[in-house]
């Protein structure tokens, strides 16, 4: 029970902090823990989470040579708009799972995690939203916890302190993570 209280206290502290002080730190302004997503391209807020998973803000067609170099075979967007206008590269599968951070539930998280897993079976995956911070941040954190076995505390710290951008919607993601039944999601 003390671990739950500890997580609850951390979440409340993070929620209070972000309602007053939005994260403004650029990824290059601090030394990142090696297990956190590592910056690849600042222009696209592009980070590598694992050898087969990347996260970013909304790309444009200028990123196509980089996606080719990274051998990305699946692009997952969490936006209501399709990636078709900028993603014209043959051989890259497009997946659209639109959502808003204040309307997230287990089925949406499972859909995103399954899309990542399916995509990774074909090669590296890029997931993105508009800014690459809140929607992508929540799914990245859930991937860390459900798939990679991170603690909620560690995933929340990377999500909120990782320098991925504006944190105005982090409260909803933090609230969802705090109540998520990880064992149920893993099943």
pLDDT tens-digit profile of 56-95? Answer: 999 999 999 999 999 999 999 999 999 999 998 899 999 9
Q: What is the model's pLDDT at position 166?
A: 75
Indicate whether 24 pLDDT > 50. Answer: no
Indicate whether 27 pLDDT > 70. Answer: no
Taking the C-alpha atoms of residue 25 and residue 39, their distance in angstroms, rounded to an integer, is: 13
pLDDT, greater one: 28 or 6? 6
* C-beta atoms surrounding 64 within 10 Å: 16
Of 29-38, 64-73, 144-153, the poorest mean pLDDT is in: 29-38
Average pLDDT over residues 128-137: 95
Taking the C-alpha atoms of residue 102 and residue 44, their distance in angstroms, rounded to an integer, is: 24
Indicate whether 165 pLDDT > 70. Answer: yes
- Could you tell me which residues come within 8 angstroms of residue 36 by beta carbon, excluding any fewer than 6 positions away? 158, 162
Task: Tell me the CA end-to-end span of the chain in Å, nearest whole number.
Answer: 23
Q: What is the model's pLDDT at position 44?
A: 97
SS3 149: coil
Indicate whether 170 pLDDT > 90. Answer: no
């Amino acid at each position: 029970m003390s671990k739950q209280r500890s997580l609850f206290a951390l979440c409340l502290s993070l929620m209070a902090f972000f309602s007053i002080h939005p994260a403004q730190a650029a990824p290059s302004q601090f030394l990142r823990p090696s297990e956190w997503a590592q910056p690849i391209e600042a222009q696209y807020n592009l980070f590598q989470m694992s050898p087969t998973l990347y996260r970013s803000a909304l790309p444009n067609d200028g990123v196509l040579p980089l996606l080719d170099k990274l051998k990305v075979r699946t692009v997952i967007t969490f936006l209501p708009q399709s990636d078709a206008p900028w993603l014209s590269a043959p051989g890259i599968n497009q997946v659209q799972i639109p959502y808003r951070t204040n309307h997230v539930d287990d089925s949406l998280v499972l859909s995103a995690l399954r899309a990542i897993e399916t995509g990774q079976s074909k090669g590296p995956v890029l997931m993105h939203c508009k800014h690459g911070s809140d929607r992508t941040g929540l799914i990245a954190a859930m991937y860390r916890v459900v798939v990679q076995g991170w603690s909620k505390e560690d995933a929340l710290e990377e999500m909120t302190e990782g320098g991925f951008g504006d944190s105005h919607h982090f409260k909803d993601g933090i609230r969802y993570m705090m109540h998520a039944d990880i064992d149920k999601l893993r099943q």
